[in-house]
Structures are given as structure tokens and as C-alpha cells.
A and B are shown apart, each in its own frame.
Chain A
Amino acid sequence: MTAGKRLCALLTGVALFACVVDAQSTINGAGATFPYPIYSKWFAEYNKLKSNVQINYQSIGSGGGIRQLTNQTVFFGATDGPMTPEQMQGAPGKILHLPTVLGAVVPIYNLPGTSGEIKFNGPVLADIFLGKIAKWDDPAIAKLNSGMKLPSTDITVVHRSDGSGTSYIWVDYLAKVSPEWLKKVGVATSVNWPVGLGGKGNEGVSGLVQQTPGSIGYVELIYALQNKIAYGSVQNAEGEFVRATIQAVTAAAGAAVKNMPKDFRVSITNAPGKGVYPISSFTWILLYENPKDKAQSKVMVDFMKWALTDGQKFAGDLGYAPLPAEIVKLEMDALSTIKVS
């Protein structure tokens, strides 16, 4: 008798458990590593609000995210560089790009014997990374930094060795300000670097720069802020020298609103406007406009609406710039075109 009762209780328990599992909706996504900290924060916070929604995200890189989304092994993807037209054509359905937050990339350097921050502009950065400017006291650098005594040290260029959205933003900027860069090297998450050492990840690049006198590299703004690494200011399209801050990055997006294409696939490096930091970029979540699973789609769209409004307040603390209100409004319209149950 007792055994029978026990079995009965067990079965009831299993049935209840199955019931709970059923009501839970789990969504899987994969992609860029750059926005991973804010995304995981969002998914955790959203789970507190709606305990039945569980969103899993694997930060396997933008390329991997696009591949998995194209193969429909994940529900959403995430990328730091917009998909190319060929990649869009290769997908089984129409994919929407939805900007979530903004990030920026800053030049870091190690030049003993100098005090104060070094000013750069686009052509100088491009020529340094092309190997054409090889010494710190080159007239081109000296011209931007009048009054600063620059040593005649050799420049050691440090770049990312791993394919990364950070490199994408950096070379996208260099290609916009230097025709030679565009022609010789081009824009991608990994390029054939003309000169320099490759460091793995932000920590690899900053480690090499901090140890190598005379070196210059680039890291994400968040990384520089969190690790208190000094970085240089960069001249924007208006001719102002701007030090990257969260406000200056949001300003870059604000300046882009006027010319925002409907699909949000836009590069905002070297954007025009006062106070704009020129090496800024969106990071995007990728969603199918007409996904197979309409129930999941409903949950995901609700989440996106939350992330673009209430969720934005978490961005600043993690070193990301929040989206300007105008862009959020445009994205809300785009979200309403996604088919849901």
C-alpha cells in the first residue's frame, strides 16, 4: 500500500514538474562577445521580472552568431559588424538588424617621458598602422601635439590577433579616413595587418602595450575604463579633439539618426556632429522577420521592447553607451513588423 502511495506521489510530482517546464519558454541565441556583459545582465534582470522566460546566450563571436542564425540552430544572433549583402542572401528568411547599445574603441599607447594625453587624427592613426609613420617624433604627430616633447622612439604597433568586432570598428574607421587603408587592407573582423604584433583579446593588446615602450594599440572603451588605462583623444569630422566618454559615443549615434537607413545597418565611425567621438559603433541583435516559432517570437519581441527602454539604464554602469531616444523609437516600429503569435 505504502509503496503504491509513494509511486502515486512520485508520479504526481513528475506531472507537476512537467507542467512547470512546459510553461517555461527558453530562447537560445549566440554571437558577439563584445556586448556579452550587458546581454547577460539583461537576461538575468528580465528573468527576475518574468521568471518563466529563460534566455541563453553563447558569446561565440559575431561570425559564429551569423552562421548559427543562418542555419537556424539559434533563435537570435548578435553581431558587431552588420551582415554583408551576401550573408543576408544566404539566410533562409529576411533578417532584421536591431541596435541594442553602443560601444567605442580607443587608442592606447606607452610612451615613457611624455606627460599629458596624446592627440591623434584619422590619417595619422592609419599611417601608423600602415607602417608609414614609424617614429613618435614624426612631424605628422608633432603637428597635432604642439607643445609636447615627443621622443624619437620607434613605434611598435599592437593589434588584435583574434577576429573581433573591436578590430572591425577600428579598421572601419581607418578605411573611412584613409583611402590607402581601404585599398591596401580593407575592412573585416580579421585583416592582413601591414605591421605589428598581434595580442589575443583586449587583455593581450593592453598587456603588450603596457609592457612595450613606444607601442600603440587599441582596446574597447569599456576595457580601458575598467582597467584605468590612459588613452588618447581623436579628432572628429568637425575638427574637434574628443576623448571617448559614454556621452560622446551616444552623441555619435544621435548624429546618425538623420541618415539612419530603415534596416539600421549603418556604420557610425567618423560621424559628423559636435562632440562626437569618431570611433563608435552600434552592436546589433539579429532576428528573423518571420520566424518559424511564433510563440518564441512573441517572448523575444517583448524582451527587446524592455531592453530598448527599461533595459538601457543598465548600459552606463557596464561602460556601454545607451541608445538615443530617436533610435529607440525607430526600432519600436521595426519590432512591430516581426511576426508573432
Chain B
Amino acid sequence: MSTSSSSNDLRFRLGTGLVALSLVLLVAAIGFELLRQSQLSIAKFGLSFWINDVWDPVSGEFGARPFIWGTLYSSVLALALATPIALGIAIFLSELCPNSLRQPLTFLTELLAAIPSIVYGLWGIFVLVPAVRAFESSLPAALRSLPFFSGPPVGVGMLSAVLILAIMVIPFISSVAREVLKAVPMSQREAAYALGATQWEAIRAALYYGRTGIVGAIMLGFGRALGETMAVTMVIGNNPQISLSLFAPQYTMAAVLANEFTEAADELYLDALIEVGLVLFVITLFVNAGSRVLIWRMNRTATVRTAPPVVAAPLGDPA
């Protein structure tokens, strides 16, 4: 009896281990293949590929810096915009929402995640971009002289891309954050209330308890923003330039791949495009590794400082 069940355990462990291993192998294979297929470009440009601003398929000169800039700038801004909203949604849904509203609201936020990005893109072209253009034109001249708002108000550009990205990542962050908050034991909140905490303080305690999961949720949104292609390419203006201005048309790595891959017949051109894919892969890898490190450090500091300060505060308060 016991031998057969332990051999079952072993088989199960091997089976699942194999599946997990295949995923690791798949990632390694993708990295290897990107590296192999971009040999021409790596050999010709080396590290200058990362810092060169010129992308000229006709003369065969390729540099990815404008795309790297556009990808990171748009993703970071979109995340800065989306995170507070997404966390607000998650907190409302898990802590404050009346039961009758919870199901429909959850369904609606998750529906946002199910809309194909091409639909977001078309909506962006026909609704968001004209609205952004009207907003840009109405901005007072004093603000327009700032580097963040310089350039002609054409509507397509960084601002439209940031807005559309923010809308697209909100459901990802909020649904994961909601699951995290749901997993926070009720006893945490009850303990906070028992110590005289207000609802706000109890929620802060729950957020603190689930902080690693919430950071994970934000990083998931970041990864999604980095790789988002179709909707962004339809509204960002696709102009490889580095600019702080939110009004300037810019370009992202995923967008240049989607735009130029099909028609790239020249070997060096194709290799340069695949190297852009490699750069995106490396950056995504670093972002994910960075978020792991962040979570790991948060867990380590948590063991040093056992009680979260928000709950500790009412403890020291005799009232």
C-alpha cells in the first residue's frame, strides 16, 4: 500500500517537475534563438546598437535607443497612472463594495482585460486621439513651453499611448491585487479593529500584509505594458525619436517589430529587428528579476520588523 502510494508520489513529482522544467527550457530556447538569429547585427553594431539613434533600413544602419526609450518611458508613465487607480479598484472590490455590486464590478474590470488590443487601438484612433488632440490644443501657452508639453498638438504620440496602456494594464493589476487582498486572513483585519483601528487603518494593515503580492501585481502590469504592441503602435505616432514631451510621436520596440518584420527581406535588417526582440527580452528579464529582488528584500525586512507601523501606531496610543 504505502510503497505504491510513494511511487505514485514520485511519478507525480517527476511529471510536474518535467512540466516546470520544460518552461525553463522554453525561455532559454527563446533567448538562444534570438541571440542566434541576430548574429549579423550583433557582429556589425555590437554595443552601439543600444545607444545609436539612427534606424535606417535603406542604408543598413540600425540603432535601438529610440525604441528602448519609448518602451520604458511609455510603460513607466502608464504604470504610474494605472497603479493608484487599479489599487483603488482592488481595495474597493475586496474591502468596501456592497455584496450586490461586487460580482458585476469584478466582471466588468475583468472584461477590460478580455478586449483584444486591436480594438483598443481602433478606439484609440477614433475616440482617444481626437480627445487628446483637443486637450493638447487647449493647454495654455505657458505650459506648452515646458519640455513635457512641447511640440505641435497632433493627438497621436506619447500621451495617447500612455493613456491606452494605463487602461489596458488596470484590469491586470486590479484583479491580481484583489485576489491578494482576498487571501489576507480575516484575522489580520479583525486584529486591527480589535486594537481600535479605523477602517482605513485596517485596510492599510491588509495592504501591508499582502505587499509582496501587490508588488507582483504591479510588475505583471509593467511586463504587460512593455510588451503591448498593437494598440500602442496605432496611437504612438511611430517616429523613432527620444523626447521628454508627452505630445511628441515616439516609437516602441514591440511596435517596430510588428510594423517592419513582415517586409524585411534583407538579412542585416532582419537580424537587427530580431536583435530589437532580444533587447526587449533582456529588459523584460531584468524587470522580472528586479521585481523578484524587491519582493525578496521586502520579505527580509519584514522578518526584522515584525509589526507593521500602521497597526503599531494605535498600539502605542492609549486612546
Contact = CB atoms under 8 A, between A and B. Distances in A.
B125 A207 contact: yes
A192 B57 contact: yes
A63 interface: yes
A247 B159 CA distance: 44
B154 A187 contact: no
B129 A163 contact: no
A163 B264 contact: yes
B57 A190 contact: yes
A83 B264 CA distance: 12
Interface string A40-72: 000000000000000000001111101100000
Closest 9 pairs between A and B when the two form their complex, measured CB to CB: A163-B263, A198-B238, A61-B262, A161-B238, A186-B58, A63-B265, A192-B56, A189-B263, A63-B263
B239 A196 contact: yes
A255 interface: no
A187 B59 CA distance: 10
Contact of B260 (A163, A187, A197, A199): A163
Interface string A205-228: 001100110000000000000000
Contacts, number: 100
Contacts of A208: 125, 156
Given A185-B58, A197-B237, A208-B156, A67 B265 contact: yes
Given A198-B249, A204-B234, 19 more contacts: A62-B263, A154-B152, A162-B258, A164-B263, A186-B58, A187-B58, A190-B57, A190-B259, A190-B260, A191-B57, A192-B54, A197-B154, A197-B237, A197-B238, A198-B238, A198-B259, A208-B156, A212-B154, A212-B155
B133 interface: yes
Contacts of A190: 57, 259-260, 263-264
Contacts of A33: 262
A110 to B, nearest CB: 12
A87 interface: yes
Interface string A64-85: 1011000000000000000110
Contacts of B270: 67
A149 B255 CA distance: 39
A61 B265 CA distance: 10
A340 to B, nearest CB: 28
Contacts of A135: none
A60 B262 contact: yes
A304 interface: no
A191 B239 contact: no
Interface in B240-272: 249, 251, 255, 258-265, 270
Nearest to B153: A212
A156 interface: yes
A35 to B, nearest CB: 14
Place the interface of chain B in its size category. 20 to 34
Nearest to A191: B58
B73 interface: no
B21 to A, nearest CB: 31
A186 B59 CA distance: 8
Interface string B38-57: 00000000000000001111
Nearest to A168: B263
A192 B55 contact: yes
A87 B155 CA distance: 40
Interface of B: 54-59, 121, 125-126, 129-130, 133, 152, 154-156, 233-234, 237-239, 249, 251, 255, 258-265, 270
A211 B233 contact: no
Given A162-B258, A188-B58, A192-B58, A63 B130 contact: no
A200 interface: yes
A198 B263 contact: no
Contacts of B129: 211
Contacts of A192: 54-59
Given A188-B57, A190-B57, A207 B237 contact: no
Max chain B CB contacts within 10 Å: which of A161, A162, A190, A196? A161
A188 B163 CA distance: 33
B239 A198 contact: yes
A66 B56 CA distance: 21
B261 to A, nearest CB: 8
Contacts of A193: 239
B1 to A, nearest CB: 41
Contacts of A60: 262
A197 to B, nearest CB: 5
A232 B153 CA distance: 25
Contacts of B259: 161-163, 190, 198, 200
Contacts of A207: 125-126
Interface in A129-178: 154, 156, 161-165
A122 B261 CA distance: 29
A64 B155 CA distance: 33
B122 to A, nearest CB: 8
A207 B154 CA distance: 12
A211 to B, nearest CB: 6
Contacts of A156: 152, 154
Contacts of A200: 121, 233-234, 238, 258-259
A67 B269 CA distance: 13
B232 to A, nearest CB: 10
A36 to B, nearest CB: 12
